[in-house]
Structure 1
Amino acid sequence: MGAGKMHADEAELDVSLVRRLIGAQFPQWAELPLEPVASSGTDNAMYRLGADMAVRLPRVPGAAGQVAKEQHWLPRLAPLLPLPVPEPLGKGTPGAGYAWNWSVYSWLAGENVERIADPRRVAVDLAGFVTALHTIGTGGGPPPGEHNFFRGVPLAARDAATREAIAALAGAIDTDAVTSVWEAALRAPAHGGADVWIHGDLSSGNLLFRPDGLSAVIDFGGLAVGDPACDLLVAWEIFSAAHREGFRDAMSADAAAWERGRGWALSVALIQLPYYRDTNPRLAARSRHVIGEVLADHRAGT
């Protein structure tokens, strides 16, 4: 794996290449300022184009299929959601040595934050967004698959990969406690209702904030029609125990869904940590935090 890369099959991307792509395919924007956007994201690279646009390019083959999905579905979902989401402005195609389709989006104001100023309000606002997404008609929506890294499948489908990650982290985490939490999630009743639209990757890196609170939700690469419990995983990343309960109440999540959501949070964090601990310190730290919050829940019996 090359220096600065997170994946063995990651594309070579830099400002020069992105500028060549824009110049060839969107000449009306060729003279606008272009700069990379610092992010802990792993599947796509982001560049700010001018004052009000963003260029988003898949880094890896597994993310390449997300472009067409987002271009098709985001304009249809956006009017039905209570917070802004990226608006596709252009669809780029392979060129200049780059192999995949890519997107130009509207730039959404806001910042990622390490600490939420008003978690009670954010719990309500985020629950409102997720609930709205989960109630949009799903006709024609894609089921979970390679395009969204199988977010929203039954948890049992992640069992082998999760246990492999637990084994890889022996000595670094409490493997007995983690295994107990994971097995409890596997025992939770499966989702019995209709599958719903899920964001699939609700995390702090995909939430934007302004001084007055949550301002936008971005990165819909995990979009699919699947188990709504997948979108509860955010609760163990951005909320303390007290405000996590507020999010649960606002979501009206029953015991089975909450248990599956905790399983999703744990599984994602466990799999990310050994993969990214040397190449993406921010994401590795986030994963350790989630594992710690899940284990704290386990010890508290909640």
Structure 2
Amino acid sequence: MHANQLTVSPETVRTLVDEQFPEWRSLPVTGIAANGTVNAIFRIGDRFTARFPLQPGDVDATRRRLKSEAEAARELACRTRFPTPEPVTLGEPGAGYPLPWSVQTWLPGVVATDEDPGESVAFAHDLADLIRDLRAIDTRGRTFVGRGRGGDLRSHDAWMETCFKQSEQLLDVRELRQVWKDLRSLPRRAADVMAHSDLIPGNVLVSAGRLAGILDNGDFGPADPALDLVSAWHLLEAGPRQVLRLDLECDDLEWERGRAWAFEQAMGLVWYYLETNPAMSRLGRRTLDRILADESPA
């Protein structure tokens, strides 16, 4: 999926676990087939999940990032009624794998890519409860930092231009350029709140049409209050989407900024993962279709 992507085999994970955590030598190591784009994931026994970054990077910088992600996950744990994985420990490079890696508790369930909750009104209510819970957590004076989603929409212009050029043979780029032109200039008026920051189907667990848990919590932090509204288009069809909006009492500006963040994310998914992760590419297309069909005022 990425240039110079790292390969992680079960044999490598077995060796790393045995050498660095001998107390787990008796536990089986099992690879998890997933559509994730950031980590290779393996189960260690019934209680733990090992996550190995797929993109090459500096060892110290990777360790700092994993520690930051663990702290974010620790801050979120038990702060909503929905279960989340909890950080356990960090592993070190070895056995041919060049980077630090992390271990979390295992959270059972089915991801929303495998059990689509899009038509579930009950799921929409659950999602609204989650977003309210996240927003209610104290920012402790922190504000959004970095260049990712959650700050200024206009700072993504260069990335969006790349997406438009890469999508010329895939999408109606002329129409999509106009959508971005309308969305990018939406003003920011609300203060930062705490947000999950990546509420896509692969990070959401579902059971019988209800929200059952939240994964990948390492980016939990302060951001635009509209950021977690990407879930409205990534996860929900039109009817439940309006239920979510009504539950959260979103005004037009907040709702359209959420639509903008979903648009920015979806545009990158379609072309970047076209060959290497077709499920992610299809997710991007579905989200774009929902955004274009949405009749909310821009």
Q: Same fold (TM over 0.5)?
A: yes
- How far, CA to CA, are the matches of 1:9 and 1:251 in structure 2? 42
Shift of 1:222: 2.9
Which residues in structure 2 correspond to 1:1-302 (within 5 Å)? 6-61=1-56, 64=62, 65-112=64-111, 113-116=114-117, 119-139=120-140, 143-145=144-146, 150-190=148-188, 192-211=189-208, 213-297=210-294
1:253 and 1:117 mapped to 2: Cα distance?
19
- Asked if the contact 1:144/1:151 (under 8 Å) is kept, the reply is no
Structure 2: distance between partners of 1:89 and 1:221: 13
- Matched AA of 2:127: L
User: Deviation per CA, 1:180-208, whole angstroms, max 9, x where unpaired?
Assistant: 22122112121x23212221110100001
CA deviation map 1:119-162 (0-9, x unaligned)? 1111111111111112211227573426xxx1212111111211
In structure 2, the gaps of 5 or more residues are none
What residue identity is the alignment partner of 1:189?
Answer: P
Report the Cα distance in structure 1 between the residues aligned to 2:14 and 2:176, rounded to whole angstroms.
Answer: 46
Query: Which has the higher mean CA deviation after the structures are superposed, 256-265 or 91-100?
Result: 91-100
Q: Deviations over 1:157-179 (max 9, x none)?
A: 11121122122212422223212
Distance 1:275 1:212, change over 3 A: closer
**Cα 1:212–1:248 shift into 2, 3 Å:** closer
Contact 1:109 1:215 in 2 (8 A): no
The answer to whether the 8 Å contact 2:70/2:218 transfers is no
> Unmatched 5+ residue regions in structure 1?
1-5
CA distance in 2, matches of 1:250, 1:88: 31
Percent of aligned positions that are identical: 35
Residue identity opposite 1:132 in structure 2? D
- Counterpart-to-counterpart distance in 2, 1:74 and 1:171: 39
Q: 1:89 to 1:99 in 2, by over 3 A?
A: same
Q: Distance in 2 between matches of 1:102 and 1:197?
A: 26
Residue identity in the other structure for 2:130: F
Q: Distance in 1 between matches of 2:115 and 2:164?
A: 26
Cα distance 1:75–1:258, how it changes in 2: closer, same or farther (>3 A)? same
Change (3 A) 1:171 1:7: closer
Mapped contact 2:72–2:221 kept (Cα < 8 A): no
C-alpha contact (below 8 Å) 1:78/1:85 kept by paired residues = yes
Q: How many equivalent residue pairs? A: 292
Are the counterparts in 2 of residues 151 and 222 from structure 1 also a CA contact under 8 Å?
no
Deviating more after overlay: 107-116 vs 280-289 = 107-116
| Aligned partner of residue 145 in structure 1, secondary structure | coil
Instruction: For residue 80 of structure 1, give the secondary structure of its aligned residue in structure 2.
Output: coil
Distance in 2 separating the partners of 1:221 and 1:157: 22
Compute the displacement of 1:17 (Å).
Answer: 1.0
Instruction: State whether residues 117 and 209 of structure 2, in contact with CA within 8 Å, keep that contact through their aligned partners in structure 1.
Output: no
CA distance in 1 between partners of 2:94 and 2:34 (Å): 24
Q: 1:138 to 1:213 in 2, by over 3 A?
A: same
